[in-house]
Amino acid sequence: MAVVYPRKFQSSLGAMSARDILGQVVRDREIHHITLNRYRFSEQRSCKDLTDLIEQLNGQPAALVRDLSRHISDEARHAMWLTDLLTDLGADVGTPPGSSYIEEFERLLDQEQNSPDNVDDFVINSLAAINVTEKRGCEYFSAHIYALQQAPQTEENVKIRETIEKILPEEAGHVRWGNRMLAQWADKSPEYREKVNQAKQKYAAIEQAAFECGMDITLGAELRRVGNLLDIANTMPLWQRPQYLAERLPHAFLAPDLQRTRIAIAQRAWSRDPQAFVEKFIPLFLGGLNRNTPAEKAKL
């Protein structure tokens, strides 16, 4: 049976893995806290979504309702651990700024096809949707742990790592549960195998699109603008470049068509420390841009 894993972030800069992204995230305390708060929000929201699912199932199949109620209990505990962690760190536990991965995912869901009128299709679709987001969670949490193992072992970093290390094995359990359930449905008949495969493909595609829209804060449309600015700056003497970029980068980032998430983060980073913004954000982009051939660059 087809096994669908979340793909890496694909952009004109090439694939950026969760490890690449988290390696950058843990270097900036504010972005680190925002990322943790996004985890918290997702865990908390999944309690609500899984409760909705139980209500829609309305008691059938009972075994699935039982599994889901346990699942909600796990997710509630994860939200609690992350909320405890964030409040201990004095970090924000408000609704994260901008569009979120989870909202984008919901927006992209095909509500009509996912109506509970056909219970089997509804259950298969729901399981496939849960499964692919749980896989993404595992990928991120394990990359986050890896990044924190490489980072300075401050009291705060150790605390964050210990919290994520408590959550990850339970998320892996959720993935195994989803795999098992989907395999059981697929074993019913060739027709069901096809249904399951289609649901897996569909939700993997939806998840990937949601992820690319809402999750990654280091790449996106602004990159192309920044790329153009860097091209111009590269024609100037070295000493003139920081000034040129410092004057124009905010505009490149704050263009209205760009996502609010990244804008909020860029704005904050900028207002906090323009010098660090240039020094820390720009290398993120330069690393990717330098890998492109002139022909690829022309396409940006």
Please report, as ranges, the residues that interact with Fe ion according to CB under 5 A.
43, 75, 78, 134, 171, 174
Pick 49 or 222: Cβ nearer Fe ion: 49
Pick 176 or 272: Cβ nearer Fe ion: 176
Closest by CA position to 104, among listed 222, 255, 207: 207
> How far, in Å, CA of 100 to CA of 91, rounded?
18
> How far, in Å, CA of 68 to CA of 213, rounded?
28
For the bound state, the minimum distance from the C-beta of residue 279 to Fe ion, rounded and expressed in Å, comes to 35
Pick 41 or 277: Cβ nearer Fe ion: 41
Q: What is each CA distance from 119 to 57, 59, 125, in whole angstroms?
A: 8, 12, 10
Pick 20 or 75: Cβ nearer Fe ion: 75
For the bound state, the minimum distance from the C-beta of residue 35 to Fe ion, rounded and expressed in Å, comes to 15
For the bound state, the minimum distance from the C-beta of residue 170 to Fe ion, rounded and expressed in Å, comes to 6
Which residues have CB under 8 Å from 57's CB, separation 6+?
64, 65, 68, 116, 119, 123
For the bound state, the minimum distance from the C-beta of residue 144 to Fe ion, rounded and expressed in Å, comes to 13
Which H helix or E strand runs over 8? none
> How far, in Å, CA of 132 to CA of 231, rounded?
38
Pick 61 or 169: Cβ nearer Fe ion: 169
For the bound state, the minimum distance from the C-beta of residue 248 to Fe ion, rounded and expressed in Å, comes to 41
> How far, in Å, CA of 288 to CA of 230, rounded?
12
DSSP 125-170: HHHHHHHHHHHHHHHHHHHHHHHHHHS---HHHHHHHHHHHHHHHH
> How far, in Å, CA of 15 to CA of 178, rounded?
27
For the bound state, the minimum distance from the C-beta of residue 16 to Fe ion, rounded and expressed in Å, comes to 24
Pick 20 or 171: Cβ nearer Fe ion: 171
Burial of 268 (0-12, 13-18, 19+ CB in 10 A): middle
Residue that the structure tokens 């024609």 belong to: 235
Beta bridge partners of 9: 16
For the bound state, the minimum distance from the C-beta of residue 200 to Fe ion, rounded and expressed in Å, comes to 17
For the bound state, the minimum distance from the C-beta of residue 225 to Fe ion, rounded and expressed in Å, comes to 35
